[in-house]
Every structure is written in structure tokens, then in C-alpha cells.
């Protein structure tokens, strides 16, 4: 592990917003688990796809490419309530991308986590923290959904 990676990990461990987001996840999983319909079986390939592959692809696409491009195009934009315009636009696109496979309410529910993923991407100037938190969120929700039935 190089020095920059260690420094980023140390900053992540001390980030109060990230610590709060990690600690608040289990109660949210418990509340949302009964509404999960995408994974009804314990098919390992499907679970791994939802838990690992989708978060990696989504974060690379939305936070890596789209938000990265918007940050360059809209450099200097003011933040409103701590949220940048590139983060807001990317999060709206992210939530909209869930509409073909999810209900409107579920797609809307992805907005808040998406804003958090975008915040991490901007704060650390890299996409890996957003990927890690997204995997954590999906893993917890799917585990609660599978074992709460």
C-alpha cells in the first residue's frame, strides 16, 4: 500500500460524515429490506452482481466519468447546502437511471446515498471511497433482505 493510499484511508476513518453514513446504514437496511424485490433468491451470481459489480460500474460511470466531466465543465460553481452542482446533476442522473428497473419511490430513494457518494468523490478526488460505500450499502441491504424473509 503506497503512502497516498494510506493517507486517504486515514482521512476516511476520521471523516465524521462517512462514519455517520456507515453507522446509520443498518437501521435503514432494516426499514428498506422488506421492499427489496430485485434479489429474491440466494443465487450467488445474482447477489454478487448486485452487491459488487453494479456499484463498481455505476460509480465508475456516474462519479468517475459524468461527475468528473461536470466538475471540469462547471469549475467554480458555488455549493448550495454543501452540495455542488456537478454532484446534484450526477445524482439526479443516477436516480433516473434506476427508473427502468425500479419503482419511482425506490429510484427517488437513491438520491440521498448518491449525493453522499458524490460528496466522497469530490472530497477525496477519487472514486474508490464512493465505490466502497456503495458496495457496503448494497451488501447490507441485500443481506437484510435475504435473511429477513
Q: What is the pLDDT, as a whole number, of residue 92?
A: 97
pLDDT tens, 8-58?
677 777 888 888 889 999 988 888 888 777 666 677 888 888 899 999 999
- For the entire predicted model, the pTM comes to 0.87
Q: What is the pLDDT, as a whole number, of residue 139?
A: 93
Dist CA 145 CA 83 (whole Å) = 31
Cell of 132: 466502497
pLDDT tens, 101-138?
888 988 898 999 999 999 999 999 999 999 999 999 99
Cell of 55: 456499484
Task: Give, for 68, the enclosing helix (H) or strand (E).
Answer: helix 68-73
Cell of 86: 456537478
CA dist list (Å): 136 to 24, 85, 117, 132, 141? 12, 26, 12, 6, 9
Q: What is the pLDDT, as a whole number, of residue 149?
A: 58
Residues 6+ apart with CB under 8 A from 36: 141, 142, 145
pLDDT tens, 64-96?
999 999 999 998 777 778 899 999 999 999 999
Q: What is the pLDDT, as a whole number, of residue 54?
A: 94
Amino acid at each position: 500500500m503506497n503512502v497516498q493510499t494510506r493517507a486517504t484511508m486515514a482521512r476516511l476513518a476520521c471523516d465524521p460524515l462517512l462514519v455517520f453514513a456507515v453507522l446509520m446504514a443498518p437501521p435503514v437496511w432494516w426499514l428498506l429490506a422488506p421492499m427489496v424485490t430485485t434479489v429474491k433468491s440466494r443465487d450467488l451470481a445474482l447477489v454478487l452482481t448486485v452487491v459488487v459489480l453494479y456499484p463498481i460500474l455505476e460509480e465508475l460511470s456516474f462519479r468517475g466519468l459524468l461527475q468528473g466531466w461536470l466538475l471540469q465543465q462547471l469549475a467554480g460553481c458555488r455549493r448550495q447546502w454543501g452540495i455542488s452542482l456537478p454532484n446534484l446533476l450526477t445524482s439526479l442522473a443516477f436516480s433516473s437511471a434506476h427508473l427502468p428497473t425500479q419503482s419511482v419511490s425506490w429510484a427517488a430513494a437513491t438520491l440521498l446515498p448518491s449525493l453522499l457518494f458524490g460528496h466522497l468523490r469530490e472530497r477525496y478526488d477519487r472514486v474508490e471511497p464512493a465505490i466502497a460505500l456503495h458496495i457496503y450499502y448494497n451488501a447490507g441491504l441485500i443481506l437484510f433482505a435475504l435473511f429477513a424473509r
